[in-house]
Amino acid sequence: MTAYRSDKIYLDHAATTPLDTEVFRKMTPYFTDVFGNASSQHCFGREAANALTCARDEVARAVGVASKEIYFTSGGTEADNLGIKGISLANADRGKHIIVSAIEHPAVLESAFSLKKFGYEITLVMPDGDGVIRPESVEKALRPDTVLVAVMSANNETGAIQPIREIYERVHAAGAYLWCDCVQSAGALPFELFPADGWAISAHKFNGPKGVGVARIRSGVRFDPQMCGGHQERGLRGGTINTPAIVGLAEALKMSQNNSEKVNAYVSSLRDSFESCVLKLCEGVRINGANARRLPSHSDMSIGGCDGQNVVMLLDMQGVAASTGAACSSGATTPSHVLSAMGLSEDLVRGGVRFSFGRENTPQEAERAAHILAQVVSSIRKSL
Ligand code: PLP
């Protein structure tokens, strides 16, 4: 359950979700009563350290890996930086070629490209027209000196789910490591669908707190710490442990996984009825990734003849919250690199708008949002 109530319609769950009230309740004592530093040796520290151990075990159980493979971070961005840079730099002796899918979040893309100054070569793999990275395309890009491949579990704009199992087989056969950004799928889809040598998740995407995430790195995979100056997380991620946030992440992950079947069915029914209503009311709308397997929450559309930024602004004035491109970097007016990589025309890239549903939304909201969108689109087209 979440406490947020609003007369506005929030359709931006891919950007962030409201904190679950039960998660908040579980976190509260760790702000006030159990405030010790988990690295301290006295009883206050031990209490916090116990909470940390429990949270790590809970996360490990929820995702089916060993506790020692879990490294807590400040979120998805840091986890991606740790995985991409940490693994590539520590394994330079295996090669300096990295393959990255062109639809990755900037946290992955920019981490990979930052390694060019250390002599790494980066190959981008393009998706098909539905935003799916084909395993054959990854296979073609693999080289004897490929050290790491990064393909996300599901795209943050289109929601398109990637064939990670097939990609992993090919990457492994070539002796490289696979990094999988699971930030958008965590809590909604089981981790077994995305076998990899490491992955990133972020609690605020599944009704947990902001500013906390996990980098899971398979035992035996060497990586260099990217945060120096402390011995926390077995010396591999320095910084005082954020006990309340980590307790919240563990609880939110467990809860969302336990409820995922019911929530996915509900959320996808809202999304599907929203899309069919929009398609009925508006001409010239393309649902991006429509032929791919998609996350239940995401609805990314390109609205011909409209500027997505404009649509989002007018929707906001009518009380509907949506976004263009990657909302976490909103403020940026650059066109979506994801839609461009999918080969959409300039007009359709410019007209991209993402709606993402959550368990708090209602069927009435889905229908109202579709009607408001139709009015907005019609007023923009009339003004041209
Ligand atoms: N990766 C993906 C796919 C995302 O969607 C996001 C945020 O939207 C991130 C990484 C970054 O996560 P965080 O906001 O926790 O830094």
The SS3 call for residue 181 is strand
Q: What average pLDDT does this structure show over 31-40?
A: 96
Alpha carbon of 325 to ligand 1 centroid (Å): 13
For ligand 1, is residue 101 a contact (CB within 6 Å)? no
In the prediction, which pLDDT does 179 show? Answer: 98
Mode of pairing for the β-strands spanning 213-217 and 320-321:
unpaired
Residue type, 84: I
For ligand 1, is residue 323 a contact (CB within 6 Å)? no
The mean pLDDT value of the chain amounts to 96
What does the alpha-carbon distance between residue 190 and residue 158 come to, in Å, rounded to a whole number? Answer: 19
Strands (E), 288-375: 298-303, 320-321, 352-356
> Residue 152 CA: which ligand 1 atom is closest?
3
pTM score, two decimals?
0.97
In the prediction, which pLDDT does 21 show? Answer: 97
- What value, to the nearest 5°, has the Cα angle with vertex 299 and ends 249 and 73? 20
Q: What average pLDDT does this structure show over 205-223?
A: 98
Q: What average pLDDT does this structure show over 284-294?
A: 98
Sign of the C-alpha dihedral, residues 17, 18, 19, 22? negative
Question: Could you tell me if 81 and 225 are in contact, meaning their C-beta atoms sit under 8 angstroms apart?
Answer: no
pLDDT band of residue 181 (cuts 50, 70, 90) is very high
pLDDT digits (tens, 9 = 90+) for 52-96: 999 999 999 999 999 999 999 999 999 999 999 999 999 999 999
In the prediction, which pLDDT does 6 show? Answer: 80
Angle between helix axes 243-281 and 363-383 (nearest 10 degrees) is: 60
Contacts of 339 (CB under 8 A, 6+ apart): 157, 288, 302, 325, 348, 349, 352
pLDDT at 224 over 60: yes
Residue of 77, 189, 204, 336 to mutate, ligand 1, most atoms within 8 A of C-beta: 77
pLDDT digits (tens, 9 = 90+) for 114-158: 999 999 999 999 999 999 999 999 999 999 999 999 999 999 999
In Å, how far are 32, 49, 94, 250, 293 from 207, measured between CA atoms? 22, 24, 39, 11, 23
What is the token pair recorded at 69? 């493979």
Alpha carbon of 253 to ligand 1 centroid (Å): 16
Q: What average pLDDT does this structure show over 362-375?
A: 98
Alpha carbon of 159 to ligand 1 centroid (Å): 13
CA-nearest residue, atom 7 of ligand 1: 328
Alpha carbon of 12 to ligand 1 centroid (Å): 13
Alpha carbon of 105 to ligand 1 centroid (Å): 7
What does the alpha-carbon distance between residue 245 and residue 265 come to, in Å, rounded to a whole number? Answer: 28
CA atoms within 13 A on the CB side of 144: 0
In the prediction, which pLDDT does 334 show? Answer: 82
User: Which sequence positions are flagged as catalytic?
Assistant: 328
Burial annotation 302-320 (CB, 10 A radius, 16+ → b, else e): bbbebbbbbbbebbeeeeb
For residues 109 and 384, which has the higher predicted lDDT (pLDDT)? 109
Strands (E), the chain: 9-10, 70-73, 97-101, 121-125, 146-150, 177-181, 198-202, 213-217, 285-287, 298-303, 320-321, 352-356
DSSP tag of 73: E
Question: Could you tell me if 371 and 29 are in contact, meaning their C-beta atoms sit under 8 angstroms apart?
Answer: no
> Residue 204 CA: which ligand 1 atom is closest?
15
What does the alpha-carbon distance between residue 227 and residue 206 come to, in Å, rounded to a whole number? Answer: 25
In the prediction, which pLDDT does 302 show? Answer: 98
How many other CB atoms are found less than 10 A from the CB of residue 42? Answer: 9
Residue of 73, 82, 84, 156 to mutate, ligand 1, most atoms within 8 A of C-beta: 156
pLDDT digits (tens, 9 = 90+) for 310-338: 999 999 999 999 999 744 454 556 889 99
Phi, psi of 275, rounded to the nearest 5 degrees: -65, -45
Residue of 183, 297, 323 to mutate, ligand 1, most atoms within 8 A of C-beta: 183
